[in-house]
Amino acid sequence: MRKMLIIPFLLTISFGAFTQSTVQRPRLIVGLVIDQMRWDYLYRYYDRYAPNGGFKRMLSQGFTCENTMIPYAPSVTACGLSCIYTGAVPAVSGITGNAWWDSELMRSVYCTEDKTVNTTGSASSRGQQSPRNMLVTSICDELRLATNFKSKVIGVAIKDRGGILAAGHSANAAYWYDISSGNWISSTYYMNELPKWVNDFNAKQLVTQYYQQGWNLLYPAGTYLQSTADAKEYEAKPFGNTFPYDLKQFIGKDYGKVSTTPMGNTMTAEFAKAALMGEQLGADNITDFLAISFSSPDYIGHSFGPNSIEAEDGFLRLDRELGTLLDFLDLKVGKGQSTVFLSADHGVAHIPEFSIENKLPGGRVMMGTLTTNLNKELSEKYKINPLIVSDDNYQLHLNHRAIDSAKLDEEEITEWLIKRLRNEPGIDRVFALEDLNETPLPASVRTALNNGYHPKRSGDIQLLFKPGYTESWSNTGTTHGLWNPYDAHIPLLWYGWGIQKGKTNREVLMTDIAPTLAALLKIQMPNGCTGRVIEEVLK
């Protein structure tokens, strides 16, 4: 009889031991990627950031990696988001740009395009998107795998690629903003109908409210001492000449203008909060993941440049948004129950005319005009136009079909182009990509180009611009995309559950973010990851 009583007791103990989890994890991981945030913004505006805002709080209470670099080129949004979340460089992930030339399709392919799916939540075609072009798993995928798909993963960004590439292949959902309707949408890759909470959010018509308010400076104009004077000729003017910007003219007509204002960040943060509540993220002991990309700093930076009052005001307001978001996480998930990291997909160059105005090196390479002229010259020589089919990602892609059909000498064409481009103002180096590893270059630059090269998605001839020179299509604004520190030096802040307080000045790489998250969560790193754990970050 005693043996019969002991057996159920032992079974109960064994079953309890089997079901009890001993792996400690936070309830929620929140990824914050600031589109086009140079590292120096952390300190350029430091004195004006709020004590309870996001940046000072994460710097003082969390861990900062002060020398975080992008280890590949081109440094653009799609590559950055995919690298942060997969730990894979473009050579492995296949995300070699926001778009790339497909020699089989004979057209440019957008990084997240997917013609097999349809828009969910709008009549537009802007939802024909998915992560299928990304060849590797993300840290979000690995979290889903580790919990047998019980973890919830949501990606949120104004830009489709910002939400999709971060969330990975197996995400519960990714959402982005449809500038044709003013609504947040998704695709049938994830769902056939929007959840009620998304429809409720869209019904608020926040963009109309933002346009009614307009864009006024947070502080008196004379206090923006870290910026140039307002209304420089080399700045774009999407709203008018000077502050305050009256946005009422766009109500019901242009839903896209909000992206180039700080209200784009506000809208993104509000949608992320709605996602957390609507999906009950962080509500139990199974770790969830909320991947948020703030796209508006990129739109503002491209238009007005990193030294503008618009950029400064945008980051001062974003700081407040981040502080409110951190408070919201403490309230809804529990204080100390979330792990948050903040980084950027890339930086940005100064507007060339700003540099020239201040006696600094800089200039523009009018890439579209240059490619058109090159094709005209090649047409006169070889009677075929175009022989250059794409200039995406600082590379020239040759028309191999036409070259093969006409039995032209590709090596001769390549050599002609290299010789011609060496004399082009603003271009520092030009060489055939097949000769990359024989071309005299600093080792770090060669590594960046190798890490950005994928044989099926990269071009034939590589262009490197002189420092301070930008790829341009007009005489206003600026851009990013190469190996230089202004493009490649990004912030990396860690905060919350499992994070050590402190900083490191040693070099770490963008590829190190995903494996550090994997170590924190005690899960496998993504399957294309080339990074290493930043051990100082973890308790």
Q: Which tokens go with 402?
A: 């036409």
Question: Rounded distance, CA 90 to CA 32, Å?
Answer: 21
User: What is the predicted pLDDT for the residue at 231?
Assistant: 87
- pLDDT tens digit string along 384-413? 999 999 999 999 999 999 999 999 999 999
Q: With H, G, I as helix, E, B as strand and everything else as coil, classify residue 365.
A: strand
Length of the chain: 539
Q: Is the pLDDT of residue 6 over 70?
A: no
pTM listed for this prediction: 0.95
Confidence of residue 21 (pLDDT cuts 50, 70, 90): low
Question: Rounded distance, CA 480 to CA 76, Å?
Answer: 7
Domain annotation for the chain: domains and CATH numbers:
28-335+490-537 (3.40.720.10), 363-466 (3.30.1360.150)
Q: Is the pLDDT of residue 203 over 90?
A: yes
Q: Where do the H-state alpha helices sit in 350-431?
A: 352-357, 367-382, 400-405, 410-421
Q: Do the beta carbons of residue 393 and residue 100 sit within 8 Å?
A: yes
Question: What's the N-to-C CA distance of the chain in angstroms?
Answer: 50
CA distances from 39 to 167, 264, 292, 484, 489 (A): 24, 21, 19, 13, 6
Question: Rounded distance, CA 466 to CA 425, Å?
Answer: 9
Residues annotated as part of the active site: 77
User: What is the predicted pLDDT for the residue at 2?
Assistant: 44
- pLDDT tens digit string along 458-514? 999 999 999 999 999 999 999 999 999 999 999 999 999 999 999 999 999 999 999
Burial of 359 (0-12, 13-18, 19+ CB in 10 A): exposed
- Alpha-carbon Rg for the chain, nearest whole angstrom, is 25
Tokens 């994890």, located at residue: 25
User: What is the predicted pLDDT for the residue at 241?
Assistant: 85
Question: Rounded distance, CA 81 to CA 79, Å?
Answer: 6
Number of continuous H segments (helices) and E segments (strands) in the chain: 19, 19
Q: How far is CA 5 from the centre of its chain?
A: 61
Q: Is the pLDDT of residue 357 over 70?
A: yes
Q: Is the pLDDT of residue 423 over 60?
A: yes
Query: Rounded to the nearest 10 degrees, what angle do helices 296-304 and 309-332 cross at?
Result: 170
Region of 178 on the Ramachandran plot (φ > 0 left; ψ -120 to 50 alpha; else beta)? beta
> Over pLDDT 90: what percentage of the chain?
95
CA distances from 331 to 12, 277, 336, 337 (A): 37, 11, 10, 10
Mean pLDDT of all residues belonging to the chain: 95
Consecutive H or E run containing 139:
helix 139-146
Q: Is the pLDDT of residue 260 over 90?
A: yes
Q: Is the pLDDT of residue 420 over 80?
A: yes
Residues 6 or more apart whose CB falls under 8 angstroms from that of 289 comprise 28, 29, 30, 31, 139, 140, 143, 151, 152, 153, 154, 167
